[in-house]
């Protein structure tokens, strides 16, 4: 298993190198989910010029392709909030909160 710093750093490096985001945040939300607290659940918020010409589905597909290795090796969930600069301005920088975990050991008696 890869250590925490390496997984999050690798995700950040790959996305920043390819997308040059204007806004970029990555949150490790693994502690909110069932099972051991690892680097398996992340929430990404990005604003990039490249997203202007892509549909929401194409944005997600692009990020999934960039992170294929991480998704195949331990990253279980990836909440993506991907915006063009104009969408970000219209939403006033608002990002939806992640839902609480509804499975695994967090909800078990």
pLDDT of residue 37: 56
Q: What is the pTM of this model?
A: 0.79
What domains lie within the chain, and their CATH numbers? 4-92 (3.30.300.90)
Instruction: For residue range 44-98, list pLDDT tens digits in order.
Output: 999 999 999 999 999 999 999 999 999 998 888 899 999 999 999 998 777 877 6
Q: Which secondary-structure segment (H or E) carries 98?
A: none
Please choose, from the candidates 15, 4, 78, 13, the residue with its C-alpha nearest in 3D space to the C-alpha of residue 39.
4
């Amino acid at each position: 298993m890869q250590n925490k710093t390496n997984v999050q750093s690798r995700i950040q490096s790959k996305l920043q190198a390819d997308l040059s985001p204007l806004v970029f945040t990555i949150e490790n939300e693994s502690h909110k989910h069932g099972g051991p607290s690892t680097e398996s659940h992340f929430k990404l918020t990005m604003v990039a010029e490249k997203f202007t010409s892509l549909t929401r589905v194409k944005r997600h597909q692009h990020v999934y392709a960039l992170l294929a290795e991480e998704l195949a090796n331990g990253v279980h969930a990836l909440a993506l909030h991907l915006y063009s600069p104009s969408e970000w301005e219209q939403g006033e920088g608002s990002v939806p909160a992640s839902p609480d975990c509804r499975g695994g050991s967090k909800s078990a008696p």
